[in-house]
């Protein structure tokens, strides 16, 4: 039986090359549910739980990864495969035939994502205790960077939110565990071997159970994580509450537009010149970005636009409190500074606005009350939505 989609093909290549891959089958998304259930019954131990994942034609390519774009189900019993299968299929484009992977679950002691480049002998590792799903979904994880087999940087957390399989269900809990050094080094070596096998930089999902490394998937990296010198700082903070789960492109575009307009307008009313705002357009347009399908603040851009105003230290501290950041971020931003003219007029302007603040708020309340009263008489059914 052939494999459907790049994800399934890559898994088969890994398995055939001797890497440990949990047993799996891949089928066309057009497969009848009865055929699927018969295939599962003949391929897997009935006592084992399964993962159902997409293997769409658009996924895991050399130009686009589509990471996190489609639905996955984990810890599925054989009797529940049909329902889980339907959810995964519905998340993929219906105009073409795609693949779906049914794979035996491995409830790892540690799991995560690894970027490996055998040509430069560099590796990045994100790791958490428990299931890989937590790392893929953007939970704060322990982070390590290796070069030539030696650790260059690491950031571990005292406590983190993880996903574990307990009493028949996947639960969220907190953990203080950190992946042991010997397992981390073993993982780095094996991930470099995966990069050697595919002859390219690889984005690898892995899990470790009883010191055995299992590879859950491997895809080519579409954007070299070491190529750019720009440091991108991501933080879910309170945006993860406002936009929880996988965020669709339309939602991301809409939210990004709002953030861009609001904060560009804030600086405009703070006397930042139009030419400076125009030069910083990319900064405002990337205040939020997707990571594995979830929305994150890109904090280096927030710090960058604050650099355009006087009083950076105070403003940065206020921003961190306002956004309820998970951790104070290191300041990797541009060298943009406010002009001399802005530094001269900024504080008098702030005091002037504070003096008029009460009056402007009262005027806003009057205007809002007027609009609400007027809106009560509107007949929305007669409105032309094209105008």
Q: Which class is domain 110-220?
A: alpha beta
Question: Tell me: the pLDDT tens digits for 6-58?
Answer: 889 999 999 999 999 999 988 887 888 888 888 888 888 888 899 998 886 65
Whether 121 and 193 have beta carbons less than 8 Å apart is answered as no
Stretch 246-268: mean pLDDT: 90
Band (63; pLDDT cuts 50, 70, 90)? very low
C-alpha closest to that of 335 among 363, 361, 312:
312
Stretch 161-170: mean pLDDT: 82
Which phi and psi angles does 321 have, rounded to 5°?
A: -70, -40
Band (125; pLDDT cuts 50, 70, 90)? very high
The residue extents of the domains of the chain are 6-104, 110-220, 234-338, 343-380
pTM above 0.75, yes or no: no
pLDDT at 62: 46
Whether 291 and 234 have beta carbons less than 8 Å apart is answered as yes
Whether 14 and 194 have beta carbons less than 8 Å apart is answered as yes
pLDDT at 59: 55
Element containing residue 122 per DSSP (H, E): strand 122-129
pLDDT at 332: 53
Stretch 323-331: mean pLDDT: 62
Decide: residue 277, CB within 10 A, 0-12 exposed, 13-18 middle, 19+ buried: middle
Q: What is the C-alpha separation between 329 and 69, in angstroms, rounded?
A: 28
Question: Tell me: the pLDDT tens digits for 280-322?
Answer: 999 999 999 988 778 899 988 998 899 999 988 888 888 888 8
Mean pLDDT of the chain: 85
Of 275 and 97, more confident: 275
pLDDT at 333: 53
pLDDT at 64: 45
pLDDT at 48: 86
Assess whether pLDDT exceeds 60 at residue 1.
no
| CATH fold label, 6-104 | Dna Ligase; domain 1 (3.30.1490)
pLDDT at 316: 86
Question: Tell me: the pLDDT tens digits for 335-386?
Answer: 678 888 899 999 999 899 999 999 999 999 999 999 999 888 888 777 765 6
pLDDT at 368: 93
Question: Tell me: the pLDDT tens digits for 192-215?
Answer: 999 999 999 999 999 999 999 999
Which phi and psi angles does 253 have, rounded to 5°?
A: -65, -45
Of 205 and 224, more confident: 205
């Amino acid at each position: 039986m052939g494999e459907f989609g790049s994800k399934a093909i890559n898994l088969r290549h890994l398995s055939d090359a001797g890497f440990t891959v949990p047993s799996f089958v891949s089928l066309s998304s057009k497969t009848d549910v009865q055929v699927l259930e018969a295939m599962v019954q003949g391929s897997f131990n009935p006592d084992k739980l399964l993962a159902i994942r997409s293997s769409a034609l658009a996924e895991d390519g050399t130009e686009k990864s589509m990471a996190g774009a489609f639905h996955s189900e984990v810890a599925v019993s054989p009797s529940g495969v049909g329902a889980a299968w339907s959810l995964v299929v519905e998340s993929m484009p219906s105009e073409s035939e795609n693949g779906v992977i049914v794979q035996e679950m491995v409830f790892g002691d540690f799991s995560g994502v690894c970027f490996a480049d055998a040509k430069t002998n560099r590796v990045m590792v994100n790791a958490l205790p428990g299931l890989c799903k937590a790392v893929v979904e953007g939970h704060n994880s322990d982070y390590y960077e290796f070069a030539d087999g030696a650790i260059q940087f690491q950031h571990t957390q005292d406590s983190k939110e993880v996903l574990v399989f307990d009493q028949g269900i996947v639960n969220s809990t907190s953990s203080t565990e950190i992946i042991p050094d010997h397992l981390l080094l073993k993982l780095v070596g094996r991930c470099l071997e995966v990069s050697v096998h595919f002859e390219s930089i690889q984005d690898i999902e892995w899990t470790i159970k009883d010191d055995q490394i299992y590879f859950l998937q491997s895809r080519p990296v579409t954007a070299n994580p070491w190529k750019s010198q720009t440091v991108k700082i991501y933080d879910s903070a309170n945006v993860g509450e406002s936009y929880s789960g996988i965020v669709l492109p339309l939602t991301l575009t809409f939210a990004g537009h709002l953030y861009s307009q609001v904060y560009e307008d804030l600086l405009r009313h703070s006397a930042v010149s139009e030419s400076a705002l125009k030069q910083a357009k990319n900064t405002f347009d990337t205040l939020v970005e997707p990571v594995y399908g979830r929305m994150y603040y890109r904090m280096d851009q927030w710090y960058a636009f604050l650099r355009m105003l006087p009083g950076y230290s105070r403003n940065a501290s206020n921003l961190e409190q306002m956004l309820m950041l998970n951790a104070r971020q290191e300041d990797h931003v541009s060298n943009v500074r406010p002009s001399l003219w802005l530094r001269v007029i900024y504080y008098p302007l702030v005091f002037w606005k504070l003096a008029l603040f009460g009056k402007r708020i009262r005027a806003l309340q009057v205007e809002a009350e007027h609009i609400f009263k007027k809106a009560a008489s509107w007949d929305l059914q007669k409105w032309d939505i094209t105008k």
